[in-house]
Amino acid sequence: MRLDYLKTFLTVARIGSFSLAAKELHTSQGTVSNHIATLEEYFDAQLLKRTIKGVEVTESGAILQEAAEKILYTVENAKAQISSTKHKLTGVIKIAASTIPEEHLLPSLIVEFQKNNSIVRFKTKTEDSVTSLLSLLANDVDFAATGSIRGYDERFEAIEIGREELVLVVPRGHELASRKSVSLQEILKYPYINREETSGTRAEIERVLEVSGIPASKLKTPLELGSTESVITAVSEGIGISIVSSIASKKAQAAGLVAILKLEGADSTRKLYLLRPKRNLLKAAEVFWEFCKEQASKKA
């Protein structure tokens, strides 16, 4: 039994698919199946079962899942402690990030950090907020950068790395396009293009509606899309209206594709976060965390 077998098992258990786990681990489906078969032979038990919904963890698998998480946590903690004894700052920092932090906040932080730490490299991958947080939970990355931490507040340490406003975008020829602001109740009258359920933007929109006493189910939603850019494109083509990031929508407005309206009487400010696990990190990651904390304090 090897540590990478345990990581493969945890990835399949989290994603619920051999093929998707292989894609995330950058390996073949055959290798994933081999790792799981080896573990099942080692423990003499079925760990995963295929169902109509996908791959699910068995009772024996649940026992291994808990143990494997503890084992990998302990190993990562030991690596971090050993790393802290080194004098030279090297290594690769891995970050899972939702669209807005990945495109608009992390680049400037990384560039500034690398001015004094040029040997440290970064690998970022763009995912929705929930998937980014799950990647962090599974120890697949050092940090997650997201626009929502609802439900994960107690699981990680977090620092605020930016703020933005949620705004309504409408097609240029829309009847609301000449307005500067709109009430949330008015939005309910029009077809609304939503993000996928695991989107941090969607979670924050639902929070804004909830605070205003409006159930998200009242939105007329003919379409759900997987990125802010695709939502803005759909709005520009006249399919509907949507609430999106003010940062992302400004480019589309400047290009004459959409009009932007403020949300009346709503707390539409959204915080953007960098999160880390509550354990020791490798030295380079720890130094980057402290650097981000320092940058955040300057903005406060």
Q: Are residues 178 and 208 in the same domain?
A: yes
pLDDT for res 148: 80
d(CA 68, CA 268): 41
Q: What is the CATH number of the domain that holds 219?
A: 3.40.190.10
Q: Are residues 186 and 281 in the same domain?
A: no
Which ranges of the chain does DSSP label H, i.e. alpha helix? 3-15, 18-25, 29-43, 59-83, 99-100, 106-114, 129-137, 184-187, 200-211, 228-236, 246-254, 283-299
Q: Are residues 115 and 233 in the same domain?
A: no
Give the total number of structural domains in the chain.
3
Full residue range of the structural domain in which residue 104 is found: 92-162+271-299
Q: What is the CATH number of the domain that holds 17?
A: 1.10.10.10
Q: Choose one of 51, 83, 115: the last residue of a domain.
A: 83
Q: Are residues 151 and 194 in the same domain?
A: no
Q: Residue 86 to residues 113, 119, 152: CA-CA distances in angstroms? A: 19, 14, 32
Q: Are residues 279 and 136 in the same domain?
A: yes
Q: Are residues 130 and 102 in the same domain?
A: yes
The tens place of each residue's pLDDT in the chain, 300 residues long, gives: 789 999 999 999 998 999 999 988 888 999 999 999 999 999 999 999 988 888 999 999 999 999 999 898 888 888 777 766 666 677 899 999 988 899 889 999 999 999 888 889 999 998 888 889 988 988 889 999 998 887 787 889 999 998 888 999 999 989 999 999 999 999 999 999 999 888 888 888 998 898 888 998 999 998 999 888 899 999 999 999 999 988 889 888 988 899 999 999 888 888 899 999 988 888 889 999 999 999 888 776
Q: Are residues 71 and 11 in the same domain?
A: yes
pLDDT for res 99: 86
Q: Are residues 103 and 131 in the same domain?
A: yes
pLDDT for res 181: 93
Q: Are residues 144 and 199 in the same domain?
A: no
pLDDT for res 298: 78
Q: Choose one of 33, 49, 83: the last residue of a domain.
A: 83
Q: Are residues 176 and 121 in the same domain?
A: no
Q: Residue 158 to residues 148, 206, 214: CA-CA distances in angstroms? A: 11, 22, 29
pLDDT for res 86: 64
pLDDT for res 1: 75
Looking at residue 272, its amino acid is: L
pLDDT for res 300: 63
Q: Choose one of 83, 102, 127: the last residue of a domain.
A: 83
- 2 and 37 Cβ atoms separated by less than 8 Å: no
Closest CA to 153 of 189, 203, 105: 203
pLDDT for res 175: 93
Q: Are residues 170 and 243 in the same domain?
A: yes
Q: Are residues 169 and 235 in the same domain?
A: yes
